[in-house]
Amino acid sequence: MGKDMQEELQTEALNTQQRMKLKQAMRRNKAKIMMGRKRSMRKLASKEVLQKRAEKAARNAMVKKILKDKDKSDLSYAARKGIEDRLSKKKLQIKTMAKKLLKTVRAKDRAKLQRNKPAPGAK
C-alpha cells in the first residue's frame, strides 16, 4: 500500500469498497506484517509511534463509550462509518485524551521490552 493511499485513508473514513480492498491487502501481506511485528517487539518504540498508539487507545476508548456494551466488529460497515463520522467531530477531545494516555502507553512499551528481553548469557 502506497504512502499516498495511507495518507488518504487517515484523513477520511473508508467506504465499503476501500474496506474490502484493505482487507485483501492485509491478507496478502500477512507474512511481511508478522515479521515486522516480531522485529519491532525487540525495540523501544519511537515518540511518534507512542503518540499514534495513545491516539488509537483514546479513539478506542471513545468508541467503547459510544457503543456502551456492544462490540464494534458486530456492527455493519455503515454503522462503523457513522461512528467514524462522530469521532471525527471529537478530534480535540481525542487529542487531549491521548496526551493523558501517553504516559501509560510509554510504560506498557517499556514493560513489553522487559518481558521480551532474553536472559543474560543466552543467545
Give the pLDDT confidence score for residue 101 in this predicted structure.
Answer: 95
Do both 28 and 67 map to the same domain? no
Q: What is the pLDDT of residue 87?
A: 92
Residue 2 has pLDDT above 80, yes or no: no
pLDDT at 5 over 70: no
Give the residue from 71, 74, 123, 64 showing the smallest Cα distance to 97.
Answer: 64
Q: Span 56-68, mean pLDDT?
A: 93
Residues of the domain holding 15 = 1-42
pLDDT at 123: 55
Buried/exposed 81-112: b ≥16 CB within 10 Å, e otherwise: bebeeebeeeeeebeebbeebbeebbeebeee
Q: Do 70 and 58 share a structural domain?
A: yes
Predicted local distance difference test score (pLDDT) of residue 48: 94
* 5 and 24 co-located in one domain: yes
**pLDDT value at 74 more than 50:** yes
Tell me, yes or no, whether 92 lies in a domain.
yes
Q: Are residues 31 and 7 in the same domain?
A: yes
